[in-house]
Amino acid sequence: MSRFRPFLLVLPAIILLLFTGLLPFFYAIFYAFSNFILTSKKGIEFVGLQNFQKFVDDPEFITSLSRGVCFSSLSVLIELSLGIGIAFMLSREFKGRNFFKILLCLPLSIPPIIVGAIWRLMVYPGIGPLPYILGLLGLKYDITTDGLQALVTVVLVNVWHWIPFDALIILAGLSGIQREVIESSAVDGATTLQQLRHILMPLIKYELLLVMLIRFMDSLKIFDEVWMMTGGGPGSATRFLSISLYTLILKGWDVGYGAAISLIFLYLMEVLTWILYKVISLYGGGAS
Domain assignment present for 8: no
Over its C-alpha atoms, the chain yields an Rg (Å, rounded) of 24
CA–CA separation, 29 and 80 (whole Å): 36
Domain assignment present for 29: no
Domain assignment present for 275: yes
In this predicted structure, the answer to whether residue 142 has a pLDDT above a threshold of 80 is: yes
Range of the domain at 128: 50-287
**pLDDT tens column, 202-250:** 888 888 888 988 899 899 999 999 999 999 989 899 999 999 989 888 8
**pLDDT range class, residue 284, cuts 50, 70, 90:** low
**pLDDT tens column, 24-56:** 888 899 999 999 888 887 878 899 999 999 998
CB contact set of 219 (below 8 Å; sequence gap of 6+):
68, 71, 72, 75, 76, 158, 162
Domain assignment present for 7: no
In this predicted structure, the answer to whether residue 81 has a pLDDT above a threshold of 90 is: yes
- CATH number of the domain bearing residue 167: 1.10.3720.10
Per-residue pLDDT, averaged over 107-126, amounts to 94
Is it true that the peptide bond before 12 is cis, omega within 30 degrees of 0? no
| Structure confidence at residue 288 (pLDDT) | 40
Domain assignment present for 86: yes
> What's the whole-number average pLDDT of the chain?
88
Would you call 218 exposed, middle or buried from its count of C-beta atoms within 10 A (0-12, 13-18, 19+)?
A: middle
Domain assignment present for 25: no
Count the domains in the chain: 1
Domain assignment present for 271: yes
HSE-up of residue 55 (Cα within 13 Å, Cβ side): 22
Buried b or exposed e, range 127-146, using 16+ CB within 10 angstroms: ebebbeeeeeeeeebbbeee
**pLDDT range class, residue 283, cuts 50, 70, 90:** low
Domain assignment present for 165: yes
Question: In this structure, what is the dihedral angle of CA atoms 201, 203, 207, 211, given to the nearest 10 degrees?
Answer: 20
